[in-house]
Amino acid sequence: MATTKHTAKKTKNDGVADASSSGTVALIIFAVSLFLSASLMFAVQPMIGKMLLPLAGGTPASWIVAMAFFQLALLAGYLLAWIMSRFTVRVHTLLLVALLVLGFVFLPVRVADHAHLLDTRGIAPSSVFLILLFAIGLPFTAISTVSSTLQRLFTATTHKDAQDPYFLYAASNAGSLIGLLSYPVLVEPLLPLYEQSIYWQTLYGALIVMCLFCLALTGKPEKNAPAKKTAAKKAVKTDAAKTAESVTWNRRILWLLLAFFPSSLLMGTTMHVTMDIISVPLLWVAPLGLYLLTHIMAFSRRKIIKTETLYNAMPFAACLMVLTAVKLPGFSMLTSSWTGAVVTLVSFFIVTLALHTRLAESRPHNRNLTQFYFFLALGGALGGSFNAFIAPLLFNSLIEFPIIAALSCLLHPAFRKEVKTEHVLLLCIGLGITVFYLLGMYAGFYDWNNNSHTHMLWLLAGFMLMVNAQPRHALIVSIAIFLLAGKLTFTQQTVLATERNFFGVMRVADTVHIVDEDTKEKGTVRIFTHGTTLHGIQHMGVDLKTSPILAYYAPPIDAIEAYHPKHVGLIGLGAGTVRCYHAPERYFTMYEIDPAVVKLAKKYFTYLEECGDEKDTIVIGDGRLELEKRIDDRYDLLILDAFSSDSIPAHLLTHEAFESYKSRMTEDGIIAVHISNRYLDLRGITAATAHLSNYRSLYIRQKERDTPLQFISVWMVLAPEHVDLTPMIEKGWQEMAAEDINVRPWTDAHSNILSTLRFRLF
């Protein structure tokens, strides 16, 4: 009898152990599958973007359309998962596998196969969208259904946490983060595009197999192992309560808003940091990486930051985002250089993590899991679409970023709670400090240029005391900052025009600047900026009004004086400064991708009008693509000056691009390339790529200035091997050293921006 009881007990314990073991195996398989699917989703997006460049050019509009497409495809995937959830969990999973198999038929990804859509429609958002739809639409949508489907399927396993599968969302976002970071660090440097596509197809096929493994690890709910029954008994009250909960529209709207605000802040932070603070290549990865990290932390079971601490920090962070965005006088340290970028990114992380934490806290029972993820995707798509398409129509600056940051306080859990007396007292103290310093600044009692850090810290302390971790106060203070920013202007700049479109924010302003270093004479100078990139300047005095040596355009005059070109091609118009390198019978064909640049150059600068020729032509469109269309043109000199976020677009420096330029040059034609950059050294890659087209290369780093309005710049000249470069060398131009050219050239299939990065932060 005792032996029988002992045997029965042992059998029972073995059953529990087996169930626990199988549950652990299931967890590993499911986590790896979710990790793989998310990695594939985030690795394919930059890959597709690179494939689009030679077809659609470097227009930011193409990138915006691509981002909108992927958000809509993700939304479609979540919608399909929600619809398929009406079936049993096993049928739901089989439908997912069938959808993945159907998507596999359209692989590998070959964007070039659909280039004929551009031939008939031109470079328009609709044609770019159609290319993406045919090239990657079905496979990407199929992958988008994996996350919510496998999480639902996990509820049918024997794992002890099967009834609350939301923690697997952290594994999915970890895959997204790894996929995002691995592309520029590993995939792009090592593999050309066609190999990337093949490897992506292989891993896609592996995902199908993994989904079948996941299905094989599940059983019918009524035949679950004892471990699962025990866990179910422990959670029966909680599950019953959650099941009884009806998903109301108020709750759905809350999910929508808690996904909308972080998505909008993601795009706003990216544009603000890269355009208004500091233009560093690949810096856009930082906000997106932090965004994915907040998803991982919010849905993880283990909280690295206590929820109470996080909610207390959120109002301060929201106010700091507003401060760095509106450029309030006295806060230049927070609104420029790396300090401003770090403050903005940390604040964005805190606010987004707080919102995603509340989103995770409001998640429903797993029976409504697919519906929850659909509204999460819908909110994300609406947030991204608001910044990409609606905000440029409503605002002429990036003001939606601080507005959304301030309004995020409305979603703070404590916003509706009663304000305590001590909060009001701190508000009054902070208000007194702030008013004292602002009045002193306005009256000129102290110079902000002296001890500016001390003044900023006192002002910052005043603002933080006013906020005092109260979300209502944070909203009020943010509104006050908006009003102050509009009233307090201590600058000699007079803004003449501000225009915003898909290409960013452009501004024309007059400022007083020293024009003669010897006499310290000052004069009015007109400046044309695009975010942090200088497009051109013009001295409004008569003597230098049409001088072409202003800004960074002095070096090309060496090539013009040495080779006397008649027909000059220019990619990147700017203010039109280069046009004043005029001479008898010389004419220009100028390519500019942004119509607003042409309009502002003609309206506010006189270079095109006073130095122009009747044979001059301005072509609107991507320089490389439009140049290829003009088959009858031949250039004696081609100048590449197409800046994009402090760097020249990569598709203009590939072997295929240089072959296009070569076909449009005269026999002795030369190419001048502007490669000035604070963070990239493009000399080696430009010389190596041009060498494939039998071009010799020289470079110059201009340091000497004839006027204070000249800036340090780096230029390269590329010439056919038979062209005599002695006149350029005599003017200080240097030939590239052999070791500098011994790098892998760029092609449309392979370019590695990290290989040109130089780590200079200041």
Whether pLDDT at 234 is above 60: no
Does 257 share its domain with 209? no
- Residue 549 and residue 581: Cα distance in Å, rounded? 9
Residue entry with tokens 């679950």? 224
Whether 510 is in a domain gets the answer no
Helix (H, G, I), strand (E, B) or coil at 448: coil
Whether 288 is in a domain gets the answer no
Whether 599 is in a domain gets the answer yes
pLDDT at 700: 92
Over residues 521-536, the pLDDT tens digits come to 788 889 998 876 788 8
Please answer whether residues 703 and 712 qualify as being in contact, where contact means their C-beta atoms are separated by less than 8 angstroms: yes
Whether pLDDT at 243 is above 50: no
Q: Which amino acid is at 653?
A: L
Rounded to the nearest 5°, which phi and psi values hold at 52?
-75, -30
Does 476 share its domain with 392? yes
Q: How far is CA 726 from CA 24, 697, 735, in A?
A: 73, 12, 11
Cross-strand pairs, 522 = 514
pLDDT at 127: 80
The number of domains in the chain is: 3
Whether pLDDT at 491 is above 70: no
Does 265 share its domain with 175? no
Does 315 share its domain with 425? yes
- Using alpha carbons only, what angle is made at residue 717 by residues 712 and 720, rounded to the nearest 5 degrees? 175
| CATH number for position 602 | 3.40.50.150
Whether pLDDT at 601 is above 70: yes
SS (H, E, C) 657-688: HHHHHHHCEEEEEEEEEECCCCCECCHHHHHH
Strands 713-720, 695-702: pairing kind: antiparallel
- Residue 364 and residue 371: Cα distance in Å, rounded? 9
Identify the domain boundary among 490, 507, 529: 490
Whether 680 is in a domain gets the answer yes
Does 478 share its domain with 583? no
Over residues 431-456, the pLDDT tens digits come to 888 777 777 766 666 655 554 666 67
Does 210 share its domain with 253? no
Sign of CA dihedral 265, 266, 268, 272: positive
For the chain, report the end-to-end CA distance as a whole number of angstroms.
Answer: 82
Whether 519 is in a domain gets the answer no
| CATH number for position 64 | 1.20.1250.20
Whether 391 is in a domain gets the answer yes
User: In which domain, by residue range, is 705 found?
Assistant: 549-756
- Using alpha carbons only, what angle is made at residue 755 by residues 749 and 757, rounded to the nearest 5 degrees? 125
Reading the block at residue 628, the tokens are 């290829």
Over residues 167-205, the pLDDT tens digits come to 888 888 888 889 888 888 889 888 999 999 999 999 999
Sign of CA dihedral 74, 75, 78, 83: negative
Whether 41 is in a domain gets the answer yes
Q: Which of 669, 652, 663 is nearest to 567 (CA)?
A: 669
- Residue 558 and residue 733: Cα distance in Å, rounded? 9
The pLDDT > 90 percentage for the chain reads: 40
pLDDT at 678: 72
Whether pLDDT at 564 is above 50: yes
- Residue 560 and residue 154: Cα distance in Å, rounded? 69
Reading the block at residue 672, the tokens are 């001048």
Please answer whether residues 653 and 685 qualify as being in contact, where contact means their C-beta atoms are separated by less than 8 angstroms: yes
Q: What is the DSSP letter of 276?
A: I
Please answer whether residues 545 and 607 qualify as being in contact, where contact means their C-beta atoms are separated by less than 8 angstroms: no
pLDDT at 37: 94
Does 192 share its domain with 263? no
Does 131 share its domain with 196? yes
Cα 279 from chain centroid (whole Å)? 11
DSSP assignment of 729-748 equals: HHTT-EEPPHHHH-SPPP-S
Q: Is the bond leading into 108 cis (omega within 30 degrees of zero)?
A: yes
Reading the block at residue 340, the tokens are 């401003």
- Residue 624 and residue 640: Cα distance in Å, rounded? 10
Does 471 share its domain with 562? no
Helix (H, G, I), strand (E, B) or coil at 187: helix
Whether 18 is in a domain gets the answer no
Does 349 share its domain with 441? yes
Average pLDDT estimate for 632-653: 82
Reading the block at residue 627, the tokens are 């140049």
Does 261 share its domain with 195? no
Please answer whether residues 654 and 628 qualify as being in contact, where contact means their C-beta atoms are separated by less than 8 angstroms: no
pLDDT at 645: 52
For residues 750, 754, 758 and 762, what is the CA-based torsion angle, rounded to 10 degrees?
130
- Residue 611 and residue 578: Cα distance in Å, rounded? 10
How many helices, marked H, and strands, marked E, lie in the chain? 29, 12
Does 200 share its domain with 260? no
Identify the domain boundary among 475, 490, 505: 490
Over residues 254-264, the pLDDT tens digits come to 999 999 999 99
Cross-strand pairs, 694 = none
Tell me which of 9-18, 544-553, 713-722 is least confident.
Answer: 9-18
Q: Which amino acid is at 455?
A: H
Rounded to the nearest 5°, which phi and psi values hold at 55?
-95, -45
Reading the block at residue 410, the tokens are 């409305």
Identify the domain boundary among 466, 490, 514: 490
